[in-house]
Structure 1
């Protein structure tokens, strides 16, 4: 038997990391997750947020009503017109942990960034970082590389107004193949405007400004032609709420704390859900089912609290049980406000009250219509789940708050045994699940939610995702459609997107749905192999390898070996998010793509059709 070799444990084994080394070694502790920018909460957007949050805090404290932001492919510039960092502390404020103005609660009473690490994390995770402060006619700047001070100026005179300018370029070795998606940035900028009425944000030359706060947010996020009554907008001290009901399935919430978008909700969002049901029941003096009251709701809530407690460094879920150290509970604070203000509003606006009552009764009818088949379908799903051959599950899940890998969880929706087999063999069993489709799913356009329970495959899918009663129990952070890039594969993509948009639109709106990009070509010689996702990438690979390399075109996922697949679904995974733009009407989109063959759609198909002959000619 081989002798066990023991590692020595001496003083030399103990290592102390400086601030930048620790951030770079454990970035997840500071910015949540890394990513390449394909998801709305990927690290590069958190970096932008950490810098802009400081400018917002200045505005909230009454200093500077304009922020200028410029973002190109790899560089971010943020200039505010607040007080400016004290010139003697410019270097310390961006490079010394636990250094900042926010520890003085009198200066920043209801700020988001209270831990003094946000700007330092951006500095440590950037290959270029420059900070410049302007204060009372004087300025000072400092430049850094990965947190290391490279150069700093003396204090010099300036003609520029007070404030701070920060320029940074995220480190491509940390955020591999990153890219900023304009839609995500635009949403982020709009949220700043909505939550800080009166503030002007100039983003790449375009002005973002809101007069009516959350009312403007819902107007932008919702198709106003399909709402059942005008948006109810309620404002109070440290709380603002906007709400309406539409015709979609599910519930949709936008919740914020001290200007921070809490994408995973928290105590304030749960308090709103409870308060709405309680107030509505008392107003109508009827014990409506809670699900009927909240069905098809679209609501936004913003609260400002002292010393908020979040469940993670990225502050996506509020954990505070109270509004402040000595304040009421969050539940009581929200409930008291909703009970008074919403009740008053409904009494003063009888037309809105009647429209709300009709929407609740409609939800009640729809729920009762499918209750019988729902019960049978769920019983079948429970039996199937015991030996569900469609689902190859993973060990970690998104709805498990204790899971360290919750943010990395994903499920691949595949078609065909060969593709499912390749992904299943190549996947990470800790965080990647696979759900295998039996062929082309049913076209659910214009069908009712009854079909979700009548169709065994859809029923099993909703149970695999755990989204029957909303997104709170969603088991995977990313739901990834993984189909071939041919005509049949594209059709399956459309059918699955139709299913989600029709019955679970909030899954798409909250940024959980993606398309897996797989390489179209493999270009290799005896020394190197390149996988190419476009004709342009193929031409570059051929040029870089020289000579006459071997070129293989992948026509289906099943043709890619599990060994190769491992590279495409792990660290170097390429995902295309399914994004709904602000002016997108789900009904109009589905009617165009999935409705009857209208002349307009036929023209679109003819104009965009690419047949195999064209592809072959391109390759030649």
Structure 2
């Protein structure tokens, strides 16, 4: 018989149970408290990018205080080097500021009035989570250098004379035992550097021998992020004390925003973004003297807002969301100031620019007309979706969701699979806490060029948008990562393209916000009696065969259903490999028309001209999965 709780032996609890961790041990034991999730670099908010940001943020803070107009950044596969030309860390505190928690100049509002970092943790976290970390200060002809390994000082700091300009140099290599299989994605780093440039007009960032510079701030940002041919009117741009705003309307579905606080990209928004959205609605209503629906006003909007405030309250150390009204008095101040400023300036601008005002009115009335046209079918579709959600066979949900706003929800994923066999393997091996599965019954509709009415008419699309909870925007998004999991064959690639077309056509902000990924699964299994190696490319297969030597068994996986649930668990767990869906060109409609439209002769000619090159790659041993993937979609005309 099992013992009762009362009779169970007590676990010892005395002075020896109380543990005191030093700063380095605490950061390494609980890295999520300091840099969010570790990740492997496939997501914009993965830890390795936070490490880069923490170091560059200090350089930006120097620039904001009027010191240093140039920052040099070099990033290789495993090393980051950042050099600014500000005042330089005071030599007597070089070691302390990177190795003692709650040590820094950010507490002195006179030295740093509106900085991003306020709690003295950033560079300490970088130090503790790096295999190697070096900091060197240059100050008035003198320099001091200190080196660390995983937060431990490895030798006495060296001090001497220098001819270098004032400033600070930081070099580090992320600890591969903490950041497993990590890799930097160049597009993410480019976006990061451009954001720094847009938010600090006049600052030059030399990143890997490329110059990042902006003259017109957020105006330049929207110019880069949008295609001029798709804009309904010229970009509206105005500045005030500690606030800058830019906005326009395009032809895409949804709302697209870029928000910043003290130079920090608040990807999850917060008080300032909510106030900006409300201010736009109020300014439009006041100008036209008409109570338009807020959704019609903001439909297809592209906006950017940057504010600078003293002592901002963020909801986490990673600073992706500005605190709400309930968190600090300054929350209320930001909301009122931003909302009033945007409403007033927008109304004034529309009075001064009647052509823009007419174009905006046409965009609003078009959105209103489209909304009313699909209102009836939308209501019926939502009723069907509600009934289906009670017994939705397509969705195997998880317990924690992205909109829960907690740590587990931030790790939530949904796999969109083809067929029951693939979804069955993932369902049996997934984490029921954070991983959901949505099963397609086959190839979805090619929806390029169709109106949003098709989302409600097509049962599968309607159920998918309800599963993601993105019908009215990303505020209620239920999963942080939306993962397309299809077979590594031609049909699988076709389904992948059709799903990406669906998201880009109707929910482009989901892709632009970095939430859509492709699941990479092994193409080969190479094993002998002692060891099994899973390979994701022809090159990896050859290396595995060489490593195991002798007689080996090679299995080629063509479908996800061929992989057993026990094996699948290894590919969607801690070592999951994800490929983010990235947009390299702002002319989205042109790209989609070429690959997914009805221009069959042009596309066929493109395939003929490029197919031989891809076959050559395969013959040379390149990844045949990539070769298939790079071929354009040719079965939808």
For the criterion TM > 0.5, the same-fold answer is: yes
- Please say if 1:40 is aligned against 2:44: yes
Residue by residue, what CA displacement relative to the aligned partner does 1:79-111 show, whole Å, maximum 9, x if unpaired? Answer: 000000011111111000010011111111111
Q: Shift of the alpha carbon at 1:584?
A: 3.4
Q: Shift of the alpha carbon at 1:201?
A: 0.5
* Corresponding residue for residue 627 of structure 2: none
SS in 1 for 2:94: helix
User: Please, which of 602, 605, 610 is the counterpart of residue 604 of structure 2?
Assistant: 602
* Corresponding residue for residue 58 of structure 2: 54
* Corresponding residue for residue 584 of structure 1: 586
Residue by residue, what CA displacement relative to the aligned partner does 1:455-487 show, whole Å, maximum 9, x if unpaired? Answer: 000000000000000000000000000000101
- Please say if 1:192 is aligned against 2:196: yes
* Corresponding residue for residue 22 of structure 1: 26
User: Please, which of 348, 356, 363 is the counterpart of residue 360 of structure 2?
Assistant: 356
User: Please, which of 62, 72, 76 is the counterpart of residue 72 of structure 1?
Assistant: 76
Q: Shift of the alpha carbon at 1:33?
A: 0.8
Q: Shift of the alpha carbon at 1:306?
A: 1.2
- Please say if 1:158 is aligned against 2:153: no
User: Conserved in 1, the CA contact under 8 Å of 2:224 and 2:586?
Assistant: no
- Please say if 1:222 is aligned against 2:189: no
Any residues of structure 2 matched to 1:66-465 within 5 Å, and which? Answer: 66-321=70-325, 329-401=333-405, 403-465=406-468
Q: Shift of the alpha carbon at 1:5?
A: 3.9
Q: Shift of the alpha carbon at 1:290?
A: 0.4
Report the TM-score when normalising by structure 1. 0.97
Q: Per the alignment, do residues 25 and 328 of structure 1 end up closer, same or farther by CA in structure 2, a change over 3 Å counting?
A: closer
For the aligned residue pairs, the C-alpha RMSD in angstroms reads: 1.9
User: Please, which of 568, 573, 578 is the counterpart of residue 576 of structure 2?
Assistant: 573
Q: Per the alignment, do residues 200 and 615 of structure 1 end up closer, same or farther by CA in structure 2, a change over 3 Å counting?
A: closer
Q: How many angstroms apart in 1 are the aligned matches of 2:14 and 2:617?
A: 67
Q: Per the alignment, do residues 613 and 272 of structure 1 end up closer, same or farther by CA in structure 2, a change over 3 Å counting?
A: closer
8-17 vs 326-335, greater mean Cα deviation: 326-335
User: Conserved in 1, the CA contact under 8 Å of 2:226 and 2:586?
Assistant: no
Residue by residue, what CA displacement relative to the aligned partner does 1:276-326 show, whole Å, maximum 9, x if unpaired? Answer: 111101100011010000000000000111111111111111115399967
Q: Shift of the alpha carbon at 1:612?
A: 11
SS in 2 for 1:180: coil
- Please say if 1:562 is aligned against 2:565: yes
SS in 2 for 1:111: coil
- Please say if 1:531 is aligned against 2:530: no
Q: Shift of the alpha carbon at 1:6?
A: 3.1
Residue by residue, what CA displacement relative to the aligned partner does 1:409-468 show, whole Å, maximum 9, x if unpaired? Answer: 000000011100000000000000000001000110100000000000000000000000
Residue by residue, what CA displacement relative to the aligned partner does 1:27-46 show, whole Å, maximum 9, x if unpaired? Answer: 00000111000011110000
User: Conserved in 1, the CA contact under 8 Å of 2:413 and 2:482?
Assistant: yes
Q: How many angstroms apart in 2 are the aligned matches of 1:131 and 1:404?
A: 32
Q: Shift of the alpha carbon at 1:613?
A: 13
Q: How many angstroms apart in 2 are the aligned matches of 1:524 and 1:474?
A: 41
Q: How many angstroms apart in 1 are the aligned matches of 2:423 and 2:324?
A: 43
Q: How many angstroms apart in 2 are the aligned matches of 1:612 and 1:202?
A: 38
Q: How many angstroms apart in 1 are the aligned matches of 2:104 and 2:404?
A: 34
Q: Per the alignment, do residues 418 and 23 of structure 1 end up closer, same or farther by CA in structure 2, a change over 3 Å counting?
A: same
Q: Shift of the alpha carbon at 1:339?
A: 2.5
* Corresponding residue for residue 482 of structure 1: 485
User: Conserved in 1, the CA contact under 8 Å of 2:248 and 2:301?
Assistant: yes
List runs of 5+ in structure 2 lacking aligned partners. Answer: 625-637
Q: How many angstroms apart in 1 are the aligned matches of 2:345 and 2:291?
A: 20
Q: How many angstroms apart in 1 are the aligned matches of 2:617 and 2:201?
A: 52
User: Please, which of 1, 9, 15 is the counterpart of residue 11 of structure 1?
Assistant: 15
* Corresponding residue for residue 551 of structure 1: 554
Q: Shift of the alpha carbon at 1:607?
A: 4.7
User: Conserved in 2, the CA contact under 8 Å of 1:323 and 1:329?
Assistant: no
Q: How many angstroms apart in 1 are the aligned matches of 2:202 and 2:531?
A: 56
Residue by residue, what CA displacement relative to the aligned partner does 1:117-141 show, whole Å, maximum 9, x if unpaired? Answer: 0000000000010000000000010
Q: Shift of the alpha carbon at 1:10?
A: 1.9
Report the TM-score when normalising by structure 2. 0.95
SS in 2 for 1:579: coil
Q: How many angstroms apart in 1 are the aligned matches of 2:278 and 2:143?
A: 51
* Corresponding residue for residue 632 of structure 2: none
User: Conserved in 2, the CA contact under 8 Å of 1:257 and 1:305?
Assistant: yes
SS in 2 for 1:293: helix
Q: Shift of the alpha carbon at 1:614?
A: 10
List runs of 5+ in structure 1 lacking aligned partners. Answer: none
Q: How many angstroms apart in 2 are the aligned matches of 1:220 and 1:515?
A: 25
User: Conserved in 1, the CA contact under 8 Å of 2:528 and 2:553?
Assistant: yes
Q: Per the alignment, do residues 323 and 68 of structure 1 end up closer, same or farther by CA in structure 2, a change over 3 Å counting?
A: farther
Q: Shift of the alpha carbon at 1:404?
A: 2.4
